[in-house]
A and B are shown apart, each in its own frame.
Chain A
């Protein structure tokens, strides 16, 4: 297994390089002028523009030099020394402060979504073709069709403002859980629709297979058949898919954090988008994709554990 993980880690290198190349192209080549003009304000003189260029490092050669922009870009990423944001705070500090809040929001959200949608999907698959199944499916499709922003805005308005069941906005005095409860709830509601639908197709593929019939023929109860025999087989596509839902969690944390004022990574990213702070956005892109690659690796390892037919070599 260590050999497998090392091989997978080596496979990450071109991907990470690709991400760095892309962020470089986006923010240093295509977007450079935009950043400069934004900072310069109205009617800048060429001198001011040159100053800003120099300050942001845009005056250096792009690629072919020892201190070229690309080399600096890669160096920053490899050493995890991302420099400073526009407000002069080191980006790494911003990250360190934001991570706990983001985790407090996304981890419960993640497990909430997976547990609820897997259970619902199993039930829907078992009662396939009945009214129960159809209603679940319709609710899921309707849930997926409702705009994300409206979930957040209406949720915040009705649940927190009108009926005062939760906190409307982050306040540092209260515990993180009382601050994060409503965003977590909204995140789960949003995430369920698509997941239930996907897991249901996965379950349907499995529920008609021979081993389910065998398990019933043994006299096992429905509960044991579904939650032991079916679930362990369906685990394999489920694991792969949960990794695919992670980017949606990022979306969740982005908008949720900014609406509820939670000072996590998502909120920081949105602020950076608003103020066109390219070094922060570039760093976030890099960090998120590293996380994503690592989660992919974890999912592949879990995959091999869940399915005895797959070996690590």
Chain B
């Protein structure tokens, strides 16, 4: 595989929803790459468009409400947006798999978990009958479920939340995908379980040599698991960089704000800072830089209020979308 082509490369992606009150621009002109075998964390507040980006990659944006209006999603150099539905079906669950936030509702309550895993194996791997079931048992063992031969015949409601998320992971990985999209995989779980699941994901990623696009609102999760970070604010990417760089020196005021609102070891603080104001309504984004009403610099800057900064390379390997970022130029 050519080193220079990233596994997944999203270029100028825009996904809009058409509702009664107007057009919701859930994803606007978003570009980023996920490198082979690496983990990219997409970080942002809830409702900023992270999940819609993921659904756009999967081709699962609900047809009745929204669609991808512009851009390219290059997977191994092929544009996924140009594929037919049946071509996409061969990719979904096979080469690109996805796990979701709510393990409680993401599994079908009326089928055994074995049935649900086997379904994917049969579909993509062409393994039949007993072999598919033993593969399912094997996958369950791999994700750390005790007594998998018995568990495989149980229903989701007989399992705890953490176990269900393990089942989801087993289901996603059963066809050895090269890209895993994890949409807030640990948000709905207890803290101790969260750590176990993330640990498991890291381990499996190494074993199967896959890339992960991890969507999270938690910079801590990103710091521990990701190689690169893309920060999303109000449907736009505001900053991309390697994990080390972003924690070392965040360039965008929003990233800076996020970092300041994170508790840190060894630092004594009276209370955590938070970013003032709230996420803008996607129906009525502010003029200019979308962050300017909440930004300590932008709120008084004429240019920030009228012009929208484009994402631009500010240093080797990192980009930012802020007029005041170091290296942004004029």
Q: Direct contact between A and B in the complex (CB less than 8 angstroms)?
A: yes
Name A's B-contacting residues (CB within 8 A): 127-130, 209-211, 213-221, 229, 232-233, 235, 306-309
Q: Are A214 and B106 in contact (CB under 8 A)?
A: yes
Q: Is the CB of A308 within 8 A of B110?
A: yes
Q: How far is the CB of B18 from chain A (nearest CB, A)?
A: 10
Query: What are 14 residue pairs bridging A and B, where the CB atoms are less than 8 Å apart in the complex?
Result: A127-B64, A129-B64, A210-B107, A211-B105, A211-B108, A214-B100, A216-B92, A217-B97, A218-B92, A218-B119, A220-B93, A229-B111, A232-B108, A232-B110
By a CB distance below 8 angstroms, the chain A residues around B120 are 218-219
**What residues on A are CB-neighbors of B109 within 8 Å?**
211, 233, 307-309
User: Is B123 interfacial (CB-CB < 8 Å)?
Assistant: yes
Question: For residue B64, which residues in chain A have a CB less than 8 angstroms away from its CB?
Answer: 127-130
List of A residues within 8 angstroms of B155 by Cβ: 308-309
Summed over the interface, the residue pairs from A and B with CB atoms below 8 Å come to a total of: 78
B175 vs chain A, min Cβ distance (A): 9
Q: CA of A127 to CA of B93 in the docked complex: distance in angstroms?
A: 23
Query: In whole angstroms, what is the CA distance A215 to B117 when docked?
Result: 10
- Asked if B138 CB lies within 8 Å of chain A CBs, one says no
**Cα–Cα, bound, A229→B123 (Å):** 15
Contacts of A307 in B (CB 8 A): 109-110
Contact between chains at A309 and B108 (CB < 8 Å): no
Which one of A217, A221, A233 lies within 8 Å of B60 (CB-CB)? Answer: A217
22-79 of chain B: CB within 8 A of chain A: 58, 60, 64-65
Measured CB to CB, the nearest residue on chain A to B65 is: A129
Complex CA–CA separation, A129 to B107 (angstroms):
26
Is B107 touching A211 in the complex (CB atoms < 8 A)?
Answer: yes
**B157 near A217: Cβ-Cβ < 8 Å:** no
Interface residues of B in 75-113 (CB under 8 A from A): 86, 88-94, 97-98, 100, 102, 104-111
Measured between beta carbons, the chain A residues less than 8 angstroms from B93 are 217-220
**A218-B119, A219-B123 are contacts. A229–B91 as well, Cβ < 8 Å?**
no
Tell me the minimal C-beta distance from B97 to chain A in angstroms.
Answer: 7
Q: How far is the CA of A232 from the CA of B106 in the complex (A)?
A: 15
B110 cross-chain contacts in A, Cβ below 8 A = 232-233, 235, 306-308
Return chain A residues, CB-CB under 8 Å to B94: 219
Given contact pairs A216-B60, A308-B109, a sample of 4 additional A-B residue pairs in the complex whose CB atoms are under 8 Å apart:
A218-B120, A219-B93, A220-B123, A229-B111
Given known pairs A216-B92, A217-B92, A219-B90, the reply for A229 and B108 (CB within 8 Å) is yes
Q: Does B320 contact A (CB under 8 A)?
A: no
* B87: min CB distance to chain A, Å: 11
For window 106-137 of B, CB contacts with A under 8 Å fall at 106-111, 119-120, 123-124
A215 to B92, CA, bound (A): 10
Instruction: For the complex formed, measure the closest distance between the CB of B168 and the CB atoms of chain A, giving whole angstroms.
Output: 8
Q: Which residue from B88, B89, B91, B106 sits with its C-beta under 8 Å from A210? A: B106
Which residue, A214, A218, A235, has most C-beta atoms of chain B within 10 A?
A218
Q: Count of B residues near A, CB < 8 Å? A: 32
Chain B residues with Cβ under 8 A from A308's Cβ? 109-110, 155, 157
Known: A232-B111, A308-B157, A309-B157. A218 touches B171 (CB 8 A): yes
Residues of B within 8 A of A229 (CB): 108, 111
Residues of chain A within 8 A (CB-CB) of B89 are: 219-221
Given contacts A129-B64, A308-B157, contact A215 B100 (CB under 8 A): no
Given A217-B92, A218-B120, A220-B119: A211 and B106 interface contact (C-beta under 8 Å):
yes
Q: Once the chains bind, are A209 and B92 in contact (CB under 8 Å)?
A: no
Nearest CB of A to B268, in Å? 41
A217 pairs with B98, CB closer than 8 A? yes
Known contacts A219-B93, A219-B94, A308-B157; is-contact A233 B123 (Cβ 8 Å): no
B157 contact set on A, CB distance < 8 A: 308-309
Q: For residue B86, which residues in chain A have a CB less than 8 angstroms away from its CB?
A: 221
With A and B bound together, what is the CA distance between A188 and B246 in angstroms?
A: 65
Distance to closest chain B CB from A210 (angstroms)? 4
Chain B residues within 8 Å of A306, by CB:
110
Contact (A218, B106) CB under 8 Å given A128-B64, A129-B65, A308-B155: no
A233 touches B92 (CB 8 A): no
Closest CB in chain A relative to B269 CB, distance in Å: 38
Nearest chain B CB to A289 CB, angstrom units: 32
In Å, the complex CA distance between A209 and B110 comes to 13
> Across the interface, which residues of B come within 8 angstroms of A221, CB to CB?
86, 89
Chain B CB within 10 Å — which of A210, A229, A235 has the most?
A210
Residues of chain A within 8 A (CB-CB) of B119 are 218, 220
Do B105 and A209 have beta carbons less than 8 Å apart? Answer: yes
Nearest chain A residue, comparing its CB with the CB of B181:
A217
Beyond A211-B108, A213-B60, A308-B157, whether A219 also contacts B124 by CB under 8 A is: yes
A215 cross-chain contacts in B, Cβ below 8 A: 108
Contacts of A232 in B (CB 8 A): 108, 110-111
Chain B residue numbers with a CB within 8 Å of A128 are 64
B91–A213 contact, CB under 8 A? no
A220 to B119, CA, bound (A): 8
Pairwise interchain contact B105-A217, C-beta atoms closer than 8 A: no
Residue of A at shortest CB range from B104? A210
Interface string of B156-176 (1 = CB under 8 A from A): 010000000000100100000
